[in-house]
Structure 1
Amino acid sequence: MLSEVLLVSAPGKVILHGEHAVVHGKVALAVALNLRTFLRLQPHSSGKVDLSLPNIGIKRSWDVARLQLLDTSFLAPEALSPTCVCLFACETEQGDVTAPTPEQVEKLKEVAGLPDDCAVTKRLAVLTFLYLYLSIFRKQRWTKEDLELINKWAFQGERVIHGNPSGVDNAVSTWGGALRYQQGKIASLKRPPALQILLTNTRVPRSTKALVAGVRNRLLKFPEIVAPLLTSIDAISLECERVLGEMGEAPALEQYHVLEELIDMNQHHLNALGVGHASLDQLCQVTRAHGLHSKLTGAGGGGCGITLLKPGLEQPEVEATKQALTSCGFDCWETSVGAPGVSVHSATSLESRVRQALDGL
């Protein structure tokens, strides 16, 4: 059982190339962002499990005794301690990592106690928390095997939310850095440059599950058209991997130009797959007016896009671009890629930083 306040964090991620194609066995390149999500764990003796997700307005509490009445197939009773559970460093008694059954999901919906008009994003977040909480318990140290287990459990959380995810998101947030992902096999990119980017949230909600299904349906309907698109996206990923491997610590401007060309081509391919959106087109147009190149990242259909910042770009021009994007109603952050993966922090050193971040929401 947790004996003191603990802070853990994991980085955000973006996919440079390979969206949707990765679901069909192609290569994806994913990088961890220097933008992190923090989880604060605090023990208490109230007999309740509390969950607070301030970014999406969730604050819930459950009696441990009530949770113990659920089907024991979730896990042994020692998983149920009156505290917020660490969702990362964990293992089942048998070390098994399994997806929730439809029956378990229905039971989770009952115990969640959410109103019928609760937003889908909030509902899925709560169901994912409850499933992971009932399936895992905390360990004290993280070995390589622990990280592999963290990655597997995070993937099951992704399945609750997205249905049939590729596994890229959980992998890069667990391991950090820059990864090459294909058919479940993960390899770190060798000495990738610390690229500076803009991450822009169009604030247009979308369903990853629906978008993935849409691409699959388009592939079935037009195999001779869509299959070559997926192969071409794969080639873009491989070419980007090659260029990143050659850039080193002193990349040439010409290499950035190649990365920009790849960004443009991939964005057109993703539009052809049917996962573009008017908001993403607007994002690309705004940044193009400032001489920058952008593409969607992730599922598309809204969501987020990334913009590559070339070296030597003056800060006033970066700020002007950010302001133009903000004027469109988007949220925009300037950040870099290649952050470390899931980490444990000292509660005393980071408590004030987390509070400041939460106060600014």
Structure 2
Amino acid sequence: MANKTFIISAPGKVILHGEHAVVHGKVALAVSLNLKTYLRIQPCSDQKVQLNLPNINVHLNWKPAALQFLQSAIDVADVLNPKTASQIQVDQLRRFAGIPEGSTDTASISILCFLYLYSAISASYGQMPSLDILVWSELPIGAGLGSSAAYCVCLAAALLSASGAITCPVPQEKDTTRWNEDELELINKWAFQGEKLIHGNPSGVDNAVGTWGGMLRYHAGKIVPLASVPTLRILLTNTKVSRSTKVLVAGVKDKLNKLPNIIKPVLDSIDAISCECERVLAAIASGIAIDEHYRILEVTFAHRSVTLYCICAESGQIMQYQNLATRCQCNAFNCKAGLTIDHSVNLAPVNLLQDTSPSVVEALKRTLKDLGYDCWETVIGGLGVALHSPSSLHKDIFQLLCDVKNCQ
């Protein structure tokens, strides 16, 4: 891989069902988005290790010799069994990068994450070759759609491939290819270490979705990829409602403590919705009574909004969005896509909403944008981390990845 240019992608995610209830031992379903992070890795003729993150205006390079001491500082004995970075190691990385202690801005933690994964993975295999790495993302940063996990997954896949820890399957013309299951597991383990450095104590759901794609079932700390999931068209809308997850979680717990006979059945209902949605999606993917199961799917989304309102009343902006979508004959539901920003997801697959024409969807998008919301028409349930041939990418994405100069 060191002598070639490769392009890797990893998807973002949304929590389809089970948010808030998952912390009380209930089932949650997370699903991949067809909004992706892309990584281009290629040899660097100037004998540098270069990191370009144009989304956040990071353009750095180091001489490999300057990074050698980091390898001994990290000292990973077994690349197949990654361990969490210690505070001493993180402090060494900070000092090397000139990042002040306590800095948590996106640029700082992205640089630290790269330096840790680069140093830790190369420590087991000797000095890494000179590399030029460019990462660009369609995902909004810090919006809870798994942008940091997609970044970590791309980095882990690229660096493990470059080091020889995993193979580097070559995609055919106009095609994508993936690693085998054992290699995906190793990519996920290293991506999780990057997520820990960024977030401290993540669940592991985001990087697992970025690695395997499709849909994952999360229950009591156990993550299980679902074997058969249909892809569904959605309209993802950032309603720009700032939230504190800490406050929200505390509020649900307080209600549960004060009103256990009321709130516990609601949490049980959320759990049942997750399980029923899992069953229905598997049936749709298998081609079993598709129209009937789409109708059941709509019911699960409707009940989802009601149960979430019971345990965590929605804001005026969210309700405004839901009312708008209802008037446009779309099946809207609020999707807490992360820690700080609310998103609503509007399911609009042709088979699910036969009466929803493209013109109706476009009208809804225009109205949402006029109200100041951001929205993306995309799909859920697609591939996880993958290698691309240049001709398999949308020409605009490929051109963007090619436009950044090598080893600036």
TM-score, normalisation: structure 1: 0.80
Query: Which residue number corresponds to residue 324 of structure 2?
Result: 286
Deviation at 1:173, TM superposition (A): 1.6
Change in Cα spacing, 1:214 to 1:97, as seen in structure 2 (3 Å) is farther
SS of the equivalent of 2:52 reads: strand
Query: Which residue number corresponds to residue 199 of structure 2?
Result: 162
Query: Which residue number corresponds to residue 147 of structure 1?
Result: 184
| Pair 1:104 & 2:89 matched | yes
Measure, in 1, the Cα distance between the counterparts of 2:311 and 2:199: 19
- Name structure 1 gaps, 5 residues minimum: 77-91
**Superimposed CA distance per residue, residues 137-190 of structure 1 (whole angstroms, 9 cap, x where no aligned partner):** 433343321100111122222222333322221112211223323222313143
Which of 302, 308, 318 is the aligned partner of 2:347?
308
| Residue range with higher mean Cα deviation, 65-74 or 168-177 | 65-74
The aligned amino acid for 2:83 is: T
**How much identity, in percent, do the aligned residues show?**
43
The aligned amino acid for 2:40 is: R
Measure, in 2, the Cα distance between the counterparts of 1:325 and 1:233: 28
Query: Which residue number corresponds to residue 375 of structure 2?
Result: 332
Change in Cα spacing, 1:101 to 1:271, as seen in structure 2 (3 Å) is farther
| Residue range with higher mean Cα deviation, 269-278 or 37-46 | 269-278
Which of 245, 248, 256 is the aligned partner of 1:211?
245
| Pair 1:321 & 2:358 matched | no
Change in Cα spacing, 1:338 to 1:357, as seen in structure 2 (3 Å) is farther
Tell me if structure 2 keeps the 8 A contact 1:197–1:308.
yes
Change in Cα spacing, 1:334 to 1:49, as seen in structure 2 (3 Å) is same
Measure, in 2, the Cα distance between the counterparts of 1:228 and 1:174: 34
Tell me if structure 1 keeps the 8 A contact 2:18–2:271.
yes
The aligned amino acid for 2:323 is: Q
Measure, in 1, the Cα distance between the counterparts of 2:58 and 2:398: 17
Change in Cα spacing, 1:229 to 1:254, as seen in structure 2 (3 Å) is same
Measure, in 1, the Cα distance between the counterparts of 2:7 and 2:329: 40
Measure, in 2, the Cα distance between the counterparts of 1:20 and 1:193: 25
Query: Which residue number corresponds to residue 267 of structure 1?
Result: 305
The aligned amino acid for 1:43 is: P
Tell me if structure 1 keeps the 8 A contact 2:334–2:344.
yes
Query: Which residue number corresponds to residue 175 of structure 1?
Result: 212
**Superimposed CA distance per residue, residues 256-287 of structure 1 (whole angstroms, 9 cap, x where no aligned partner):** 34333322433344455559555444432332
- Name structure 2 gaps, 5 residues minimum: 122-158, 169-178, 404-408
SS of the equivalent of 2:67 reads: helix
SS of the equivalent of 2:43 reads: coil
**Superimposed CA distance per residue, residues 233-257 of structure 1 (whole angstroms, 9 cap, x where no aligned partner):** 2221011112223334476555434
TM-score, normalisation: structure 2: 0.72
Measure, in 2, the Cα distance between the counterparts of 1:176 and 1:18: 18
Query: Which residue number corresponds to residue 89 of structure 1?
Result: none
Measure, in 2, the Cα distance between the counterparts of 1:50 and 1:145: 29
| Pair 1:34 & 2:19 matched | no
The aligned amino acid for 2:108 is: R
SS of the equivalent of 2:46 reads: coil
Query: Which residue number corresponds to residue 133 of structure 2?
Result: none
The aligned amino acid for 1:162 is: H
The aligned amino acid for 2:374 is: D
SS of the equivalent of 1:166 reads: coil
Measure, in 1, the Cα distance between the counterparts of 2:120 and 2:313: 34
Measure, in 2, the Cα distance between the counterparts of 1:122 and 1:213: 26
Aligned alpha-carbon RMSD (Å) = 3.3
The aligned amino acid for 2:226 is: S
Measure, in 2, the Cα distance between the counterparts of 1:271 and 1:300: 18
Change in Cα spacing, 1:25 to 1:319, as seen in structure 2 (3 Å) is same
Measure, in 2, the Cα distance between the counterparts of 1:109 and 1:173: 27
Which of 316, 335, 346 is the aligned partner of 2:389?
346
The aligned amino acid for 1:340 is: L
Measure, in 1, the Cα distance between the counterparts of 2:379 and 2:388: 21
Which of 120, 141, 159 is the aligned partner of 2:105?
120
| Pair 1:68 & 2:68 matched | yes
Measure, in 2, the Cα distance between the counterparts of 1:344 and 1:71: 27
Tell me if structure 2 keeps the 8 A contact 1:30–1:172.
yes
**Superimposed CA distance per residue, residues 272-328 of structure 1 (whole angstroms, 9 cap, x where no aligned partner):** 555955544443233233122121242254243211113322000010111111122
Deviation at 1:47, TM superposition (A): 4.0
Deviation at 1:50, TM superposition (A): 1.7
Measure, in 2, the Cα distance between the counterparts of 1:204 and 1:266: 19
The aligned amino acid for 1:306 is: V
Which of 243, 247, 271 is the aligned partner of 1:234?
271
Change in Cα spacing, 1:303 to 1:346, as seen in structure 2 (3 Å) is same
Measure, in 2, the Cα distance between the counterparts of 1:214 and 1:134: 37
